[in-house]
Amino acid sequence: MERLSLPVEQMKEHYRVVVVGSGYGGSISASRMARAGQSVCLLEKGKELHPGEYPDREAEATKEMQMDLEGKHVGPETGLYDFRFNEDINVFQGCGLGGTSLVNANVSLPPKDWVMASEEWPSALQADRKTLDECFRLAKNMLKPTPYPGDWRTPAKLKAMESASGNWEKGAFYRPPINVNFEQGENHAGVFQNACNGCGDCVTGCNYAAKNTTLMNYLPDARNHGAEIFTEAAVDRIERHREQWVVRYKIMNAGGKKFGESTNFVTADIVILAAGTLGTTEILLRSKENGLEMSDMLGQRFTGNGDFLGFGYNNDVDANAIGMGHKEPDKDRPVGPCITGIIDLREDKYTHSKKSEGMVIEEGVIPGALSAFVPWMLAFSSKFIGRDTDRGFTDFFRELWRKLRSLLGGAYRGATRNTMTYLVMTHDDGKGECFLKNDRIRITWDDVGKQSIFQKVSRNLEKVTQRLGGTYIKNPTWNKLFKHRLTTVHPLGGVIMGEDATEGVVNHKGQVFDNTNGTQAYKGLYVSDGSVIPRTLGVNPLLTISALAERNCKYMADDYGWTIDYSTNNISDHREH
């Protein structure tokens, strides 16, 4: 696969469309606008990394970590693994060409109908479900979600998850659709992909070109149709100048630091902000500080999508849920993709008509690049915050023996090998607030971790762990010492949709309102990522973000009189451009 990005020196002064960000929203916007025949420039803060270049050892992974702390930033600002630490809720996201699609678990599930019918969404979106449903279909056609094949060897963690689902009625457990390729060959965007080899390292970056990130589909498709892509260009803010938009950005140097001030700029008729929930909110907050009028709702209604992390440590059954890292994957005993099984508790029979208490429990994989210290971390956590769900004389010595095997022999043996990782999504109150401090985005959300729903989540995870005979370890920061701090990998909100500027920052098309009240929007300024979602989804958000981005593009094309070519039989090699 050839490089998609161009040297920044080749950037033109003006484009019809400038897209900021390359996750789901940005990649989709660039692809569809290019297919509509428009001149498109895409700016991405992070680097362009390809399969084979993602870290698979601890030392390599450490170099790609960046951490935003109170008052300072540690690590390269172009680091692939982007951690944002706050007092109430932490965020993990991806930074690179492909955005968080590079480091997520790629589960493609829609929210329940009641979620999309709730009053938080603009009435125009609710009244046009036919278009939204069509856009879900368009996104699926490009991302190609499919469940883990039934005729492939079943990963141990998938078997364990099915066994753990016995607490609930049959049907709660199933294999969810995931954006992973299980057949080798050239895909619909002209990119050669391998079949998944079951290494398990989806969330540190797929080194085998099997994961359907936007780098495998929408981005090459955008390039095939003439879009120009530039990496290591961090957008600082946007300004309105006469009839054009000025996008000010900083060039990142080789060390991942910003080089110079925001003197670099490119102009556009249309700007589509898709820098991710935190990135887009931060850009707009800076733009507002510099005089761009916007709704007072900017920064409001942030949600972590009800995310909750937990572990079932030292189970009585094999889990084999540690990624292989630099080791050769075992074809006979595959770890499998990061998430292959789900316990879906969103139906009324599980929530007892309290729909907002529904949740999904998904099993995961600890990346192989972290395998060296995981046995010690889990052993320590189990002693101080763990709860053994099955006690007994014989069981005590079996568990002790497995723990010693892990501590002495490594993560692929004993207690750590028998550990399950769980990621839960449910519904929080969505009352987080984003703001700027020292020119960087911060999040505040009083007592978010003390919401009663997380106690219910924790009880369900303990039930799951008990079925497997393990020790339940809740999120290590979810305790009194850390003020019940949560961690989310699905940040949403901050630039939410609304009926007008008193209720939201953008309208149902993603157009930014130009005042603190009313429905009038700026001409040519759009937002197309998770920041526009006005509530929790209760499930992995990537498919919904993608569908909303597709919908924005459809409306944009209609408003400007363009035609988007959705056919896939006109793929050309991007080298021709």
Instruction: Check whether residue 459 and residue 502 sit in a common domain.
Output: no
Instruction: Check whether residue 528 and residue 477 sit in a common domain.
Output: no
Q: How buried is 292 (Cβ within 10 angstroms: 0-12 exposed, 13-18 middle, 19+ buried)?
A: middle
| Segment 16-40, tens digit of pLDDT | 999 999 999 999 999 999 999 999 9
Return the pLDDT at 35: 98
Query: Average pLDDT of 405-424?
Result: 98
| Separation in Å, CA 424 to CA 304, 346, 442, 475 | 11, 12, 24, 11
Instruction: Check whether residue 269 and residue 130 sit in a common domain.
Output: yes
Instruction: Check whether residue 180 and residue 301 sit in a common domain.
Output: no
Return the pLDDT at 571: 55
Return the pLDDT at 236: 97
Instruction: Check whether residue 44 and residue 187 sit in a common domain.
Output: no
Q: Sign of the CA dihedral 163, 167, 168, 169? A: positive
| Domain assignment of residue 10, yes or no | no
Return the pLDDT at 256: 59
Instruction: Check whether residue 207 and residue 332 sit in a common domain.
Output: yes
Percent residues over pLDDT 90 in the chain: 93
**CATH number where 515 lies:** 3.50.50.60
Percent residues over pLDDT 70 in the chain: 97
Return the pLDDT at 538: 98
Query: Average pLDDT of 470-486?
Result: 91
Instruction: Check whether residue 340 and residue 469 sit in a common domain.
Output: yes
233 touches 251 (CB < 8 A): yes
| Domain assignment of residue 128, yes or no | yes
- b/e per residue 151-190 (b: at least 16 CB within 10 A): eeebbbbbebbbebbeebeeebbebbbbbbbbeeeebebb
* Mean of per-residue pLDDT scores for the chain: 96
Q: What is the number of structural domains in the chain?
A: 2
| Domain assignment of residue 1, yes or no | no
- CB neighbourhood size of 109 (10 A): 23
Instruction: Check whether residue 283 and residue 325 sit in a common domain.
Output: no
| Domain assignment of residue 572, yes or no | no
Residues with Cβ within 8 Å of 250's Cβ and at least 6 positions away in sequence, in order, are: 233, 234, 236, 258, 259, 260, 261, 262, 264
How far apart (Å, rounded) are the C-alpha atoms in residues 223 and 510? 24
Model confidence at 575, pLDDT cuts 50, 70, 90, reads very low
Put simply, whether the predicted model's pTM sits higher than 0.85 gets the answer yes
| Domain assignment of residue 257, yes or no | yes
Range of the domain at 233: 17-49+62-144+220-306+431-447+493-565
| Segment 273-320, tens digit of pLDDT | 999 999 999 999 999 999 999 999 999 999 999 999 999 999 999 999
| Domain assignment of residue 9, yes or no | no
How far apart (Å, rounded) are the C-alpha atoms in residues 76 and 68? 10
Instruction: Check whether residue 133 and residue 231 sit in a common domain.
Output: yes
| Segment 129-172, tens digit of pLDDT | 999 999 999 999 999 999 999 999 999 999 999 999 999 998 99
Residue 352: pLDDT above 90? no
Model confidence at 573, pLDDT cuts 50, 70, 90, reads very low
Instruction: Check whether residue 442 and residue 375 sit in a common domain.
Output: no
Return the pLDDT at 353: 78
Instruction: Check whether residue 346 and residue 416 sit in a common domain.
Output: yes
Instruction: Check whether residue 347 and residue 296 sit in a common domain.
Output: no
| Segment 208-248, tens digit of pLDDT | 999 999 999 999 999 999 999 999 999 999 999 999 999 99
Return the pLDDT at 577: 41
